[in-house]
A = this chain, B = another copy of it.
Amino acid sequence: MFDILLSNMDETENPLYLQIYNQFRERILTGDIQSNTRLPSVRALQLQLNISKTPIETAYQMLVAEGFVYSKPQSGFYVINMDEYESRQQNKQPDYFLNTPTPDELSVKKKYIIDFDPSAVDNEFFPIRTWKKMLHHVLENYSNRIGEYGDMKGEHFLRKTIANYLRNSRRVNCSPEQIIIGSGISYSITILTRLIEGIRYVAFEEPGFEPVREQFLQNGYEIIPIEVSNNSFGIKKLEESGAQMIYVTPSHQFPTGRVMPYTEREYLLHWANKHNAYIIEDDYDGEFRYLGKPIPSLQSIDHQGRVIYIGTFSKAFTPALRMNYMVLPMRLLKKLESIHHFLSCPSRVEQWAMHAFIEQGHWYRHIRRMRNKYRKKHFTLMECIQTHFANKVEITGHSAGLHLQITVKTRLHEKELLKLAADKGVRVYDFQKMRINKTQSSYPSIYLGFAGIREADLEKGIQLLKEAWSHSFIE
């Protein structure tokens, strides 16, 4: 049944383990080897193929690492359940920090007609022509610097430009020296954890942005979850927690979408000042606000250097660039020199291009354009949901950002809703993973990102969701 073919010299010159791995993978993906099948034992395959154990063990390890196979202690290796696999792929999406690259991803992707991926942004309106012009311009004009390492904190003039932009748009108060340009929030957190000293307890929004939480956990910090919902934030718990740092997303809480009210911001700063604590303000989609008047960033009302502000080009521009920035309070700069071995800035060429893009006014134009675009998508989506679902869902977290939350009046669980939606070709998101303490609230909450979907497809997506779920609604 498991006729694995080996050649010592196949045309690709693949080593044995790779040949074995490839053949198993392909047959699992095509369904030739079915879900939950037990693979032959290493010993059995060894006898069959007449080779040493090592390549077989290696291939199996690789299948496990890539998620096609799991091992049961004392029993052997089993093909994973493809249904589970798909739902795992779905659950995995929210931590968009590791999309498996293997063909399976494509095959899973293809199954969806519409994917409300909260991490995706619009690609139709990406200013390709202008960006190309910027790249062209800087490669011609900075070619004399292309042979050199630059400043690993980021190019100085880009940091200056970002400082200005942040002052104008988010009232962030900083000098270029305080800015560190990086390749994403995981990099910023890596650097930050090198700079802070004597901190052990980190308060974290619950639910909250799991990748950052995991990073703190794996760095040995203790996480204190502070419950946040559409209309509350566990201030009392924070006060008693002994936390020395807190991570928050005040512009548009991830994932609930809540906007932190002004008084709470003041309270947070008060708390930080009182305890000499730090606040990480992750302003990932602060550029987009639809309802209510803008509330100043925490950094802008911090007068004692308690806020670490983190922003990104991933939302307002593109996540493909992998460029973000962190604004450090002055007192954290002191140690920077001694940890500079950890610094590694993103491409200088793209930093030059970004500088030119902003300086020449394209950035402000782009942001205005995207604001309008997303505002339209946002209201279209809201309208569709209201039209099709009426009072069967409650929409929250929709006054800012690029995703919203719906709570569905059904007795089904999140997972079941996801499955039903997937059967119709629609992918929606369940952010249970964003919680440390799993709880089951009365009705399931589902997340829809709209930035990456064409406006014309929004209605179709909602219609399909209605078809998928309507039989389960509670009257």
Contacts and interface: CB of A to CB of B under 8 A. Distances in A.
Interface in A83-109: 95-102
Interface string A328-346: 0011011011011111111
Contacts of A135: 132, 135
A319 B149 contact: yes
B123 A143 contact: yes
Given A347-B347, A350-B350, A156 B101 contact: yes
Interface stretch (A57-65, A196-204, A252-260, A437-445): A57-65
A465 B152 CA distance: 30
A467 interface: no
Contact of A119 (B21, B98, B148, B348): B148
Contact of A131 (B122, B139, B156): B139
Interface in A343-372: 343-350
A320 B333 CA distance: 24
Contact of A211 (B186, B210, B341, B349): B341
Interface string A58-82: 1001101111000000000000000
Contact of A344 (B151, B187, B320): B187
A214 B333 CA distance: 19
Contacts of A126: 143, 146-147
A347 B330 contact: no
A62 B330 contact: yes
Choose among A120, A186, A322 the residue with the greatest number of B CB atoms under 10 Å from its CB: A322
Interface in A153-184: 153, 155-156, 159, 167, 173, 175-177, 182-184
Interface string A391-434: 00000000000000000000000000000000000000000000
Interface stretch (A10-18, A26-34, A279-287): A10-18
B148 A139 contact: no
Contacts of A344: 97, 182-184, 186-187, 322
Contacts of A194: 218
Interface residues of A, number: 95
A321 interface: yes
A318 B148 CA distance: 7
Given A155-B101, A186-B342, A341-B218, A149 B96 contact: yes
Contacts of A64: 334
A190 interface: yes
Nearest to A183: B344
Contacts of A308: none
Nearest to A128: B139
Nearest to A65: B333
Quick one: which of A98, A147, A150, A322 has the most chain B CB within 10 A? A147
B152 A97 contact: yes
A310 interface: no
A50 interface: no
Given A321-B349, A322-B348, A336-B65, A98 B139 contact: no
A150 B97 CA distance: 8
B97 A120 contact: no
A167 B66 CA distance: 22
Contact of A320 (B65, B146, B341): B146
A136 interface: yes
A452 interface: yes
A403 to B, nearest CB: 14
A326 interface: no
A246 interface: no
A215 interface: yes
Interface string A314-328: 100011111100000
9 contacts: A62-B175, A98-B337, A99-B150, A101-B159, A122-B147, A132-B135, A149-B320, A183-B345, A347-B350
Given A99-B151, A123-B146, 16 more contacts: A61-B331, A64-B334, A65-B333, A97-B152, A97-B344, A98-B340, A101-B151, A120-B148, A126-B146, A128-B139, A132-B135, A135-B135, A147-B320, A147-B451, A148-B452, A350-B350
